[in-house]
């Protein structure tokens, strides 16, 4: 009888150790989920508190954002902030989309090795420059020297044009690299087929490879847009801190992210309405970038499926 029970193996020390390691590693992986939950928890808690003071309609459809004022002047319409965010992002993309896509096509299809060796590090460096440096550049060089002196535009010290264009430059490496990846993933046989039919290199790149990589290119653009939407410091420094609902490129604007950074300072009293606005605006920004990111993940998965 004793022998028979010994056939049922009890876990050895070694296998218990292995299981323990696995559990520990899983716990580490679970931390990232906990981070997401903590973000959502923080945002939701104060968002609910905020809607106890301000109605949802006033927030979503109000066209005046003046939480710093008192009494009747105080208003919590988020539209100017959302508008500022989108307007600056739009200006940025007007720069970044053509520049990024053309750079990506060049790197994937045309660049000779020697030029690639220079251009890739330049893009990597540009991507590694902290955004505060771009902000400094926009404020002290691009606005006064390029826009005012060189082009003779009558822009304010803080303006949408400068912040938007520099925002675009910031996003160029993201778009260029992702477009390059997407186009490099297109199988060589498509290029050979096009060449066999008599297409030249440019025709092959534009009419065959680019369309084949389109979902990846769109994913690159969405991710670029998401970066621009979430960017804080460039706009805080060069775009100004004034919520604005207009089209004037020369005026100052405020984005959602810049509002948060401008308002949240260490000493803001917990529970005040200003404290709550940080979270409701943060919630809006979080949801917006989440949606953009999910779209881009979807698109990337699509082009991977086609060619792998």
Contact mark string toward other proteins, 191..220, x via CB under 8 A: -------x-xxxx--x--------------
**Is residue 191 within 8 Å of residue 279, measured between CB atoms?**
no
Among 46, 47, 54, 93, interactor with other proteins by CB under 8 A? 46
Q: State both tokens at 153.
A: 């535009």
3-state secondary structure of 96: helix
Contact between 189 and other proteins by CB under 8 A: the answer reads: no
Stretch of 1-9, 52-60, 64-72, 255-263 lying at the interface with other proteins (CB under 8 A): 255-263
Task: Show contacts with other proteins in window 7-36 (CB under 8 A).
Answer: 14-15, 17-18, 21-22, 24-26, 28-33, 35-36
Contact mark string toward other proteins, 270..289, x via CB under 8 A: x-------xx--x--xx--x
Contact between 5 and other proteins by CB under 8 A: the answer reads: no
- Residues near 164 by Cβ (< 8 Å), separated by ≥ 6? 87, 88, 89, 90, 91, 92, 94, 95, 239, 249
Task: Show contacts with other proteins in window 111-130 (CB under 8 A).
Answer: 115, 119, 122-123, 125-126, 128-130
Contact between 305 and other proteins by CB under 8 A: the answer reads: no
User: Given the complex with other proteins, which of 61 and 110 has the nearer CB atom?
Assistant: 110
**Is residue 51 within 8 Å of residue 284, measured between CB atoms?**
no
CB of 277 to other proteins, least distance (A): 11
Task: Show contacts with other proteins in window 48-87 (CB under 8 A).
Answer: none
**Using CA atoms, how far apart are residues 282 and 272, in angstroms rounded to an integer?**
16
Stretch of 52-60, 76-84, 170-178, 212-220 lying at the interface with other proteins (CB under 8 A): 170-178
Contact mark string toward other proteins, 215..244, x via CB under 8 A: --------x--xx-xxxxx--xx-------
Residue 271's region, left for phi above 0, alpha for psi from -120 to 50, else beta, is left
Q: How distant is the alpha carbon of residue 301 from its chain centre? A: 19
State phi, psi for 76 to the nearest 5 degrees. -120, 40
User: Given the complex with other proteins, which of 15 and 55 has the nearer CB atom?
Assistant: 15
User: Given the complex with other proteins, which of 160 and 229 has the nearer CB atom?
Assistant: 229
Among 261, 273, 302, 306, interactor with other proteins by CB under 8 A? 261
Alpha helix ranges (H) inside the chain: 2-7, 13-53, 56-61, 79-105, 113-128, 131-137, 160-184, 188-196, 201-203, 210-212, 214-230, 233-234, 256-263, 273-307
57-61 own/partner pairs: CB under 8 Å, 24+ apart: 59/280
Among 79, 99, 153, 245, interactor with other proteins by CB under 8 A? 99
Q: Please report, to the nearest 10 degrees, the dihedral formed by the alpha carbons of residues 127, 131, 134, 139 taken in order.
A: 170
């Amino acid at each position: 009888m004793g022998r028979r029970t010994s056939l049922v193996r009890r876990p050895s020390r070694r296998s218990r150790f292995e299981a323990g390691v696995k559990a520990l590693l899983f716990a580490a992986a679970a931390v990232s989920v906990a981070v997401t939950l903590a973000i959502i928890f923080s945002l939701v808690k104060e968002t609910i508190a905020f809607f106890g003071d301000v109605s949802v309609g006033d927030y979503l459809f109000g066209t005046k954002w003046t939480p710093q004022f008192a009494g009747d002047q105080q208003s919590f319409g988020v539209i100017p902030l959302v508008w500022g965010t989108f307007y600056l992002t739009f200006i940025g993309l007007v720069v970044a989309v053509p520049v990024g896509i053309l750079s990506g096509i060049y790197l994937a299809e045309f660049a000779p090795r020697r030029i690639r060796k220079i251009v890739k590090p330049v893009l990597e460096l540009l991507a590694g420059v902290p955004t505060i440096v771009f902000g400094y550049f926009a404020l002290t060089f691009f606005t006064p020297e390029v826009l005012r002196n060189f082009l003779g535009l009558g822009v304010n010290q803080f303006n949408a044009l400068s912040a938007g264009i520099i925002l675009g430059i910031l996003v160029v490496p993201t778009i260029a690299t992702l477009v390059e990846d997407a186009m490099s993933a297109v199988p060589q046989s498509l290029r050979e087929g096009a060449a066999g039919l008599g297409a030249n290199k440019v025709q092959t790149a534009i009419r065959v490879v680019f369309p084949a990589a389109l979902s990846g290119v769109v994913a690159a653009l969405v991710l670029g847009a998401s970066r621009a939407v979430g960017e804080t410091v460039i706009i805080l420094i060069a775009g100004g801190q004034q919520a604005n609902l207009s089209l004037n490129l020369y005026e100052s604007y405020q984005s959602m992210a810049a509002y948060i950074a401008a308002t949240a300072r260490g000493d803001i009293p917990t529970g005040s309405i200003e404290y709550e606005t940080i979270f409701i605006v943060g919630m809006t920004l979080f949801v917006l970038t989440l949606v953009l990111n999910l779209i881009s993940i979807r698109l990337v998965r699509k082009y991977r499926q086609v060619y792998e």
